[in-house]
Amino acid sequence: MNRFEVIGRLTRNAELKFSNSGLPISTFAIAENTKVKGVDEVSFYDFVMFGKYAETMNPYLNKGTEIVVFGKFKQDRFEKDGVKRSKIKFLAEHIHLCGGVQHNNQAVIGDTVNQQDQVQSTPTGFAELDEDIPY
């Protein structure tokens, strides 16, 4: 099984480029904090995301935004200066925005944009609750 899930904050704004064939490619990085034996440790991860989903999500991926990234690993093998090398890449397949972020001066709180480019909102307050609650 080749899956991962990482929660962290973006270390910079996502960068959107296009391949020669027009394929959207978004790159971004997050920092993830953990405690090991009571000591804070920070790990940094670089991600790449492809296609329409990359183009759709890119405006929401701003420095400091907390996100959850789901995806898979990919090992790239190459030769440099006659030496065979490899590097693990993190391919983002799905992103969940955790906290409040600003996009075009509008607050987006706890939204997920999925592969079909639909926005699924989570309730942000009590306005959506039924007023007939007995307490």
- Other beta carbons within 10 angstroms of residue 3's beta carbon come to 9
Question: What's the mean pLDDT in 16-33?
Answer: 95
What pLDDT band is residue 125 in, cutting at 50, 70 and 90? very low
Measured distance CA(125)–CA(101) in Å, rounded: 16
Tell me what pLDDT residue 42 has.
93
Question: pLDDT, tens digit, for every residue of 55-101?
Answer: 999 999 999 999 999 999 999 899 999 999 998 889 999 999 996 54
Domains within the chain, CATH numbers bracketed: 4-120 (2.40.50.140)
Residue 35, CA distances (Å) to 38, 39, 61 in order: 6, 5, 25
Tell me what pLDDT residue 97 has.
94
Tell me what pLDDT residue 48 has.
95
